[in-house]
Amino acid sequence: SPRARVVSGMRPTGALHLGHYHGALKNWLRLQATHDCFFFVADWHALTTHYEQREDLEKNVYDMVVDWLAAGIDPERVTLFIQSRMPEHAELFALLAMSTPTSWLERIPSYKDQIDKNRELATYGFLGYPLLQAADILIYKAAQVPVGEDQAAHVEVTREVARRFNRVYERPVFPEPQALLTETARLPGLDGHKMSKSAGNAVAMRDAPEVVEQKIRTMPTDPQRVRRVDAGDPARCPVWPLHRLYTDEATRAGLEQSCRSAGIGCLDCKQPLIEAIQREQAPWRERADDYLANPKQVHWILELGTERARAVARKTLREVRAAIGL
Binding residues for ATP: 11-13, 19-20, 148-150, 187, 194-198
Least distance between ligand ADP and beta carbon 131 (Å)? 16
Query: Is 105 or 187 the residue whose CB approaches ligand ADP more closely?
Result: 187
Interface pick for ligand ADP out of 10, 138, 161, 320 (rule CB under 6 A): 10
What does the DSSP assignment read for 179-201? EEE------B-TTSSBP-TTTT-
Measured CA to CA, the distance from residue 222 to residue 92 in angstroms comes to 53
Q: Which residues, at least 6 apart from 101, have a Cβ–Cβ distance to it below 8 Å?
A: none
The reply to whether 193 sits near ligand ADP by the rule CB under 6 A is no
Interface pick for ligand ADP out of 5, 6, 7, 23 (rule CB under 6 A): 23
Q: Which amino acid is at 141?
A: K
The reply to whether 37 sits near ligand ADP by the rule CB under 6 A is no
The reply to whether 78 sits near ligand ADP by the rule CB under 6 A is no
| DSSP type of residue 73 | -
Query: Is 103 or 198 the residue whose CB approaches ligand ADP more closely?
Result: 198
The reply to whether 19 sits near ligand ADP by the rule CB under 6 A is yes
Measured CA to CA, the distance from residue 16 to residue 84 in angstroms comes to 20
The reply to whether 196 sits near ligand ADP by the rule CB under 6 A is yes
Q: What are phi and psi of 247, to 5 degrees?
A: -110, 145
Measured CA to CA, the distance from residue 318 to residue 52 in angstroms comes to 34
Measured CA to CA, the distance from residue 65 to residue 71 in angstroms comes to 10
The reply to whether 154 sits near ligand ADP by the rule CB under 6 A is no
Q: Which amino acid is at 112?
A: K
Query: Is 19 or 128 the residue whose CB approaches ligand ADP more closely?
Result: 19
Half-sphere exposure of 28 (CA within 13 A, CB side): 27
The reply to whether 30 sits near ligand ADP by the rule CB under 6 A is no
The reply to whether 11 sits near ligand ADP by the rule CB under 6 A is yes
Cβ(29)–Cβ(71) below 8 Å:
yes
Measured CA to CA, the distance from residue 7 to residue 40 in angstroms comes to 8
The reply to whether 187 sits near ligand ADP by the rule CB under 6 A is yes
Q: Which amino acid is at 40?
A: F
The reply to whether 225 sits near ligand ADP by the rule CB under 6 A is no
Query: Is 122 or 199 the residue whose CB approaches ligand ADP more closely?
Result: 199
The reply to whether 20 sits near ligand ADP by the rule CB under 6 A is yes
Interface pick for ligand ADP out of 5, 22, 154, 270 (rule CB under 6 A): 22
Least distance between ligand ADP and beta carbon 263 (Å)? 31
Interface pick for ligand ADP out of 112, 163, 186, 279 (rule CB under 6 A): 186
Least distance between ligand ADP and beta carbon 139 (Å)? 20
Based on its alpha-carbon atoms, the radius of gyration of the chain, rounded to whole angstroms, reads 22
Measured CA to CA, the distance from residue 55 to residue 248 in angstroms comes to 42
The contact set with ligand ADP (CB under 6 A) reads 10-11, 13, 19-20, 22-24, 148, 184, 186-187, 194-196
